[in-house]
Amino acid sequence: MVMALSKLFRISLNKGKDLITLEKEIEHLQSYLTIQQMRYRGTHYKLLINEVSAFEPKVPAPNLPVARVLWTVKPNFQDGVKAWSENGGGHHTVVSLNLTTDQIVTYAKLVNLEYVVIK
């Protein structure tokens, strides 16, 4: 658990850089899932994959120490939120601009993790 947390935080900080490699993105996801599986031991855990259209905001925010991204939920806000809540979506969100839905589904299958794709 300590190793997964340290990796999660180290990658999240990313030495102040805006971009992250695909390898680090996958490592970040693995650490997050490890933490969640330990946290909810003995309970059901499901990965919700919601496709989005992401874009950088045009208004500068120089005092924010993290990368910024906004997104539009697919297929649309109302249906996306409805599908998210009907499938037990929680308040934890991870956004990846580097991973495709197919890559995340492949990972979920590799680690035997139930998943739902919302698109």
Q: What is the pLDDT of residues 55-108, one digit of tens each?
A: 888 888 888 777 778 888 889 989 988 998 888 887 677 778 888 999 999 988
Of 100 and 29, more confident? 100
The domain limits of the chain are 2-118
Residue 117 has pLDDT above 80, yes or no: yes
> What pLDDT does residue 44 have?
67
> What pLDDT does residue 1 have?
66
Alpha-helix residue ranges (DSSP H) falling in 14-97: 22-39, 77-86
The one-letter amino acid at 3:
M
Residue 42 has pLDDT above 70, yes or no: no
Residue 21 has pLDDT above 70, yes or no: yes
In the 8-state DSSP scheme, what is residue 29?
H
* Nearest-angstrom CA–CA distance, 115 and 87: 10
The CA-CA-CA angle for residues 46, 50, 55, to 5°, reads 140
Of 97 and 50, more confident? 50
* Nearest-angstrom CA–CA distance, 55 and 53: 7
Of 18 and 100, more confident? 100
